[in-house]
Amino acid sequence: MNDAKEELRGYYTGDITTKVHNLYLTVPIQATYQLSNRWNVQAGPYISFAVKKEFYGEAYNGYLRHEEPTGNKIVVDNADYDFSESVRSIDVGMSLGAHYAIDRRFFALAQLDYGFNNIMKTGFESISFGLHNIFMNVGIGYKLK
């Protein structure tokens, strides 16, 4: 491929490197259930708003079959792509977590968040499968009072 920017549709075979740097502001709504004096679990939905969206990379050492799997073969030595504008601004999902009281002040926590919607906007076809946000938080906390 040359340095000119052009849009091609087809089936790519080769190497791909992708960098994703998305930053979200998340608003959780959680219910807590106390299992014992030491254990409690939390669950509930969340909504996240994208503050920064970066999804870019390069395709190299491969080829593209234009339009269909048996279409014209186009050799791809190195081609950059940037799908940042195709990342959704809102993510909605579910959180599930647990706290363990180590003593009166210290506690350990773990939480898993899963985004229900595809992070790419509706109509995005460059990736043939859905991408979902999955986050895991693990930490130690201290109660002030």
pLDDT tens, position by position, 63-95: 988 888 888 888 989 989 999 999 999 999 999
Contact 78, 1 (CB under 8 A): yes
Percentage of the chain with pLDDT > 70? 96
82 closest CA partner among 17, 23, 134, 129: 17
Instruction: Return mean pLDDT, the chain.
Output: 92
| Separation of alpha carbons 77 and 131, rounded Å | 26
Average pLDDT over residues 26-36: 96
More confident of the two residues 4 and 114 = 114
Domain positions in the chain: 10-142
* Residue 117 in this model has a pLDDT that exceeds 80: yes
The model's pTM: 0.80
* Residue 131 in this model has a pLDDT that exceeds 90: yes
* Residue 7 in this model has a pLDDT that exceeds 80: no
90 closest CA partner among 42, 145, 47, 137: 47
| Separation of alpha carbons 133 and 23, rounded Å | 11
* Residue 2 in this model has a pLDDT that exceeds 70: no
What is the structure's pLDDT at 5?
Answer: 64
